[in-house]
Structure 1
Amino acid sequence: MASASSKTLTDFFNRAPKRLKPTLTTICKSEDNTNASSTLSIDQKLRIEYNKSLALSKRNLKICTERVSKHKESSVAGCVKLEELLVEESWLEALSGEFQKSYVVNLSKFVETEICSARDDSVYPPQHLIFNALNTTPFHSVKAVILGQDPYHGPGQAMGLSFSVPEGIKVPSSLVNIFKELKQDLGCSIPSQGNLEKWAVQGVLLLNAVLTGNTKQILMQKKAGNNLLTPLSKQSRRRRKGLCFCCGESLLRRNLG
């Protein structure tokens, strides 16, 4: 039996409805819409996508900042649970079920205990930036992964993105070396500052093997933090084909799954 939307032979002999004469306003609007979509250059389209991604990352950062502030106001310890700091929906879906596994539960307890028992300036990066890499670069947007080892431990350096430091902070030697390689290989100019947020927004996942650091317990952080790197790299390779992974020799020796 034919569906209600299908035509019969007699439908083709029905008198066509009278066409309305297009007005000048209608013609102008139609031409404007066509021209607007067809005249966008590749650079303009990329800029639109970049602005959307930047807005999403700022929204995620705002949520994390508000959650940390809320816990500091309502709790004596002032620390938020680790899983509450990952707010990017695409990564929550990609890592669905991981936060209930024993290794992540143990890691979360370890990090939360350190944050709650330490001074604000002795644990880095700040709480709201612990998952900054994932919250800034959505899972479906990842084009390349640059793996670092530990968060920078200098005052004001760590911002949750591997090799990146906020503007106004001296560019670390490790990042200077990256800039030099880019100039030598691709002719890129060397920036005067080391904030790599624009890279992250454009699809470069800047991930450290260790989520957090503590000036007094660096080795303990390494032992606990490495456990989360394997599922992250596994999911990225399994569900995103053609990804480029960049890391140093010491990380290359590790089993990343």
Structure 2
Amino acid sequence: MSDEPALFDISAGGLNPGPPVPFTSGSSLYELMTPDWADALAPETATIHRIGDELQRRISSGTQVLPPPASILRAFTLPLKKVKVLIIGQDPYPTPGHAVGLSFSVGPSVRPLPRSLVNIYKELRDDLGIEPAPHGDLSAWTDQGVLLLNRALSVDAGQANSHRNLGWESVTDLAVRALAARRQPDGSPMPLVAILWGRQAQALAPLLDRAPRIESAHPSPLSASRGFFGSRPFSRANELLKQQDASPIDWRLPGVR
């Protein structure tokens, strides 16, 4: 979500660099994600290790990498077979303390909420009448099968889009292809709805095969008024799930009455 500016500047070496990266060369993906995702992403194992080595080099030199290294691959702890809705973000929030490894989500105690997330909550209220949650933790959506996946999975603190060319795109491309390729026992596609906000997310449309897609402008304050507001992605996603004989998502979050 590179539309979100950092709230303050980070200078190299100015902060404790934090814990080591868990997916450097020699590590096993099976210890970091579900087995079905590890199998699906196996062709990009070398890329993931190379990125891990580069992130470790940056951290060792004093750069703060976000989200915390142990959370960078968090999206892949939702089993591949359980994904029903895919929401693609751009890259993690660059403000320290915000990124948690799930696109658009933040930790329960983060205040104020990122502006993109505020706009998502506004659209959720207008679409389904669900009042905004008092927090920005979207993990309840993940628990129901919503994959919150960023295009790039890491970022230098204070530097949006700083990891855009590290190689994450080939990993997330493969993840999207794996979702679209899933099949039920009868050979039909497994239920999937892709919500693509903004041009970077929409660039993945060709990889989704015939999976239903909901496309609109990004919820960033810079673009939300140009087609995100009024796009009704939540109700439309549920209708598309029902058409595929899949249960809808309960988009309410804990703490909302």
The answer to whether TM tops 0.5 is yes
Say what the alpha-carbon RMSD is for the aligned residues: 2.4
- 2: distance between equivalents of 1:183 and 1:217? 31
Match of 1:3 in 2: none
1:95 maps to amino acid? L
Match of 2:59 in 1: 115
Alpha-carbon offset, residue 189 of structure 1: 1.9
Query: Which of 66, 75, 81 is the matching residue for 1:133?
Result: 75
Q: Which stretch shows the higher mean deviation, 82-91 or 225-234?
A: 82-91
How does 1:91-170 map onto structure 2 within 5 Å?
91-100=37-46, 103-119=47-63, 122-135=64-77, 137-170=78-111
- 2: distance between equivalents of 1:80 and 1:116? 14
CA contact (8 A) 2:89 2:201 kept: no
How does 1:3-42 map onto structure 2 within 5 Å?
none
Alpha-carbon offset, residue 219 of structure 1: 4.3
Match of 2:214 in 1: none
**Structure whose CA Rg is larger:** 1
CA contact (8 A) 2:94 2:158 kept: no
CA contact (8 A) 1:81 1:112 kept: no
Specify whether residues 125 and 96 from structure 1 end up closer, same or farther in structure 2 by C-alpha distance, changes over 3 A only. Answer: same
Deviations 1:222-249 (A, max 9, x none): 1122222210111111115331111222
2:69 maps to amino acid? Q
Specify whether residues 92 and 195 from structure 1 end up closer, same or farther in structure 2 by C-alpha distance, changes over 3 A only. Answer: same
CA contact (8 A) 1:79 1:116 kept: no
CA contact (8 A) 2:89 2:151 kept: yes
Alpha-carbon offset, residue 215 of structure 1: 3.1
Match of 1:248 in 2: 197
Specify whether residues 252 and 92 from structure 1 end up closer, same or farther in structure 2 by C-alpha distance, changes over 3 A only. Answer: closer
How does 1:218-257 map onto structure 2 within 5 Å?
218-224=160-166, 225-239=168-182, 241-255=190-204, 257=207
- 1: distance between equivalents of 2:148 and 2:124? 16
Q: Which runs of 5+ in 1 are unaligned?
A: 1-70, 73-77
Query: Which of 187, 190, 198 is the matching residue for 2:140?
Result: 198
Match of 1:90 in 2: 36
2:181 maps to amino acid? R
CA contact (8 A) 2:41 2:171 kept: no
Q: TM-score, normalised by structure 1?
A: 0.62
- Does the residue aligned with 2:164 lie in a helix, a strand or coil? helix
Specify whether residues 250 and 109 from structure 1 end up closer, same or farther in structure 2 by C-alpha distance, changes over 3 A only. Answer: same
Specify whether residues 109 and 159 from structure 1 end up closer, same or farther in structure 2 by C-alpha distance, changes over 3 A only. Answer: same
- 2: distance between equivalents of 1:236 and 1:116? 35
- 2: distance between equivalents of 1:220 and 1:152? 11
Alpha-carbon offset, residue 113 of structure 1: 2.4
1:238 maps to amino acid? A
- 1: distance between equivalents of 2:136 and 2:161? 26
Specify whether residues 97 and 186 from structure 1 end up closer, same or farther in structure 2 by C-alpha distance, changes over 3 A only. Answer: same
Q: TM-score, normalised by structure 2?
A: 0.62
Match of 1:54 in 2: none
Deviations 1:157-177 (A, max 9, x none): 010010001011021111111
Which has a greater percent of helix? 1
- 2: distance between equivalents of 1:166 and 1:227? 27
Match of 2:118 in 1: 176
Alpha-carbon offset, residue 104 of structure 1: 4.0
- 1: distance between equivalents of 2:86 and 2:116? 16
Match of 2:248 in 1: none
2:137 maps to amino acid? N
Specify whether residues 105 and 128 from structure 1 end up closer, same or farther in structure 2 by C-alpha distance, changes over 3 A only. Answer: closer
